[in-house]
Chain A
Amino acid sequence: MNIDKQPTTSYRWETFSHMADIGIRGFGNSPEEALIAVSLALISVITDPQKVSPTSSVSITCQDDSYDLLLYDWLNCLIFKIATENMLFSAFEVELRLPFLRGTAWGEIIDREKHTPAVEVKGATFTELFFGQNDNQWIAQCVVDV
């Protein structure tokens, strides 16, 4: 199932198979770390996050009553920023205190030569949507429609 792991110090991400689309998953020691990790997994669907220089930033604010809806909103806000700012991201900072999520995503304008973007992400979905603790670690995941 897990096909694309990236080892990091305190968080890691992976993608997982879904027949038509693709699943993204982030692990961390805190909800914030899991969010950062799943955000990198989202970018990996489009391009290798290591190809993206974190030179400029966008701010994102979400508000919701539950962790999983915040995850849905956060990912869809990132997808919106990718589309409207024409940017890809590789570094994130988030502050989560239910019901608020405030974050900053750093990245750069899409360069088709440099990033060779594989596919456009249409939206984060409720399929396999989970944001919570499992075995003492935080997991944030869902399937994204491409």
Chain B
Amino acid sequence: MEMSLLEKISESCWQIPAHGTMRVPVIIYGSEKIIQQMDQKVAEQASNVASLPGIVKASFVMPDAHWGYGFPIGGVAAFDPDQDGVISAGGVGFDISCGVRTLLTGLQEKDIEPIKNKLADLLFKEIPAGVGSHGKIHLDKNEMDKMLVGGAKWAIEQGYGEEEDLQRIEEGGCMPGADPQAVSNLAKERQAKEMGTLGSGNHYAEVQVVGKIFDEAIAKLLSIHEGDIVVSIHCGSRGLGHQIGTDYLKEMVVCAQKLKIELPERELACAPIQSDLGKRYLGAMRAGINCALANRQILTHLIRKVFSNFFPNISMPLLYDVSHNTCKVEEHSINGGSKKLFVHRKGATRAFGPGHREIPEDLKEAGQPVLIGGSMGTHSYILVGTTQSERLAFSSAVHGAGRAMSRSKALKEWKGKEIIKSLEAKGILIRAVSERGVAEEAPLAYKDVSDVVEAAHKAELAKLIARLDPLICIKG
């Protein structure tokens, strides 16, 4: 990104002042090094977002931002429904409620070392992953609608998990206001065989060891200690979310054309929150969130079953589940008052600070866990929301590394087989459907997640608690 465009506010905060059609400034968080590495398109897209009706305070850019569709990935924008605010399908993304969840195991690395290969093989066998994989759960229309309303709560009612899991999921595992009638039959048909599937691309299920603790007191509150084994899942709302994105993006684009609304990018298309289209999208998007929560819950069940095969008495409680492609109605402080806003987080994680009412009682003192997935073979991180995050970016933080190289270039640079071999030499077992897919997901094709997390920590968007090192990675 061209630094001359930016005004420096602090070492970790930069601004593009409002100009032209922009209603608010763009605020970018990150070190100078990180921002220099961002695409110029990020500044352009964040400025476009700043020009949308009803936007409040600023168009925020997280340290892991990159070029997206309409909104930058790593973008946060809040809209006021009373000021003609809008909701945007592009501001949520195709993979609605894509997110990360982490499970505790009570195991140490020495416990899994003797069975590591067998564990990797069984996880790969039991977790449907990649193109052409289908789950064992097929939903009819009636059950599909129940799932879209119930989310992870529905999944637990079907026997996929424990009641206690719900306390550790945003919105208690069930997003209110979901409207299955606003979800097309195409979307439902696409999802019918995809419940409990991982997907592909940067999605994964990973067995990790807690490699380093940065804050002992908070780590203790989260029940994590150095050397502990945890399991993390990164995936979203699968075909249903993709189809909702496809359907509503087009409807919003066509609507903008009909109303002769000039958009700098068609994917910036949006609808007033109070409009029929806005309300329908909101109902469908919330159903997409529930689909993602149910999907991660079923995957959790599959993973628990695999682990219990090796450790019959194992208990694998949920540490937390976060979504990073959403639009949620939240109360935030504006001009000394409190206001309900529609907060779009596109590739950004909610990061409520300590004491927030949405955080479960036993974690309130710590702040909301912020789970940051790395790329294949690299570290992941656990952070928590800070008190300052509310003031900085409506309680939002980073979501992951973000690509540094296109898939085509990665494919030219690396061979999947060599990557698998070199990671195995480091003690990291990869199980993947496609060697080409592995090459496209090469660790170095992504930005250094450690830099991104450090930038978020320094900017006080979230506080760094623990580093997770990969041991087994299941890829689609």
Contacts and interface: CB of A to CB of B under 8 A. Distances in A.
Given A83-B239, A116-B434, A119-B131, A126 B440 contact: no
B414 interface: no
Contacts of B267: 125-127
B94 A122 contact: yes
A19 B39 contact: yes
A117 B409 CA distance: 18
A118 interface: yes
Contacts of B239: 83-84
A18 interface: yes
A22 to B, nearest CB: 5
A103 to B, nearest CB: 17
A91 B249 CA distance: 28
B186 interface: yes
A79 B242 CA distance: 10
B408 interface: yes
Nearest to A3: B408
A8 to B, nearest CB: 20
Contacts of B194: 83
Given A76-B246, A80-B186, A112-B433, A120 B131 contact: yes
Interface residues of A, number: 39
Nearest to B405: A19
A10 interface: no
B150 to A, nearest CB: 23
Nearest to A77: B186
CB-CB nearest 9 A-B residue pairs: A110-B132, A117-B131, A17-B406, A118-B436, A122-B242, A126-B266, A118-B437, A120-B200, A123-B246
Given A116-B433, A127-B69, 4 more contacts: A20-B68, A84-B189, A115-B132, A116-B436
Interface of B: 39, 66-69, 73, 94-95, 130-134, 186, 189-190, 192-194, 199-201, 239, 242-243, 245-246, 249-250, 253-254, 265-267, 402-403, 405-409, 412, 433-437, 440, 476
Interface of A: 3-4, 15-22, 46, 69, 72-73, 76, 79-80, 82-84, 86, 110-112, 115-120, 122-127, 129, 145-146
